[in-house]
Amino acid sequence: MGKNEGMIVIVDYGMGNLRSVEKAFLRVGYSAMVSSSAKDIKNARGMVLPGVGAFGDCIRNLEKLGLIEAIKEGVYGGKWFLGICLGYQVLFEESEEFARTKGLGIFKGVVKRFDSRMRDEEGGFLKVPHIGWNQVEVVKAHPILEGVESGDYFYFVHSYYVEPMDKDLILTTTEYGVRFASGIASKNVIGFQFHPEKSQEKGLALLKNFAKMVYDRE
C-alpha cells in the first residue's frame, strides 16, 4: 500500500452492505476499512460509498455524521471514489423519491423511479423494484472494467435509476423497461447501480480493479 498513505475507506452512514463490501475486497487481496469518521475519510486513499434504501435517509445520515464535506473534499481533491447502488445515485443533483430530495450534486442529473406501468421484455408489467441478475452493455473502455465484457451479468436491487445530464459520463447501460445508465465514470469518480460485492466473479473483478487503481497509482 505504501508509506502511511491511507486505505480504502468504506463509508459507514448506517445504510448498506458494509461488511460484505469489506469482505469482497479481502477476497481479492486488498484491505479496506469501514468507518463513519470524517477524519478517516479525509486520510483515506480511496473512498467507497455503498448503500441500499432511501435517497433522503442517505443524505440526512451523511449530514448528521458530518461526512458530506469530507466526501466532497476527497472527490474534488482527486481521490478515487466508488459509489455503489444508492451511493452512486446520491452523486447526482436530486431524486424524485417522495418529495424531491437534493443529492451531493457532484454531477448534473436526476434519479428517476421505474414506471411499473411499462412492459417488460415478456410483455408483462415491469416489476418494481428491479431485483436480480441483468446484463450490462459496455459503452466505453475504462480500467475499472478490465475483465468485463458487454453481456456480462451483475446483481441489481433498486427502484430508481440515474439519468445523467452529461451522457459522456456513461460507462455501462442496462435494459429494464428503459435503457438506463448502470455505470458512470469521470476522472477519479466511478459509480455503479448494481452491487459488485454480490455479483460473483465479475463483481469481484471490478472491486479488484478499483483497489489496484487506488493503491497502485503514484
Taking Cα atoms as reference points, which of 155, 150, 190 lies closest to residue 173? 150
3-state percent breakdown (helix, strand, coil) of the chain, nearest 5: 30, 35, 40
130 in catalytic set: no
Of 85, 130, 137, 201, the catalytic one is 85
Of 22, 58, 158, 197, the catalytic one is 197
158 in catalytic set: no
Going by C-beta distance under 8 Å and a sequence separation of 6 or more, which residues neighbour residue 124? none
85 in catalytic set: yes
Transcribe 35-95 into DSSP letters. E--HHHHHH-SEEEE---S-HHHHHHHHHHTT-HHHHHHHHHTT-EEEEETHHHHTTEEEE
Taking Cα atoms as reference points, which of 25, 34, 33, 39 lies closest to residue 7? 33
Rounded distance, CA 14 to CA 33, Å? Answer: 15
For the chain, count helices (H), then strands (E).
6, 14
Residue whose C-alpha cell is 436526476: 110
CA distances from 217 to 11, 62, 142, 213, 214 (A): 21, 28, 15, 6, 6
Rounded distance, CA 197 to CA 51, Å? Answer: 12
Of 22, 58, 130, 195, the catalytic one is 195
**Residues that are catalytic:** 85, 195, 197
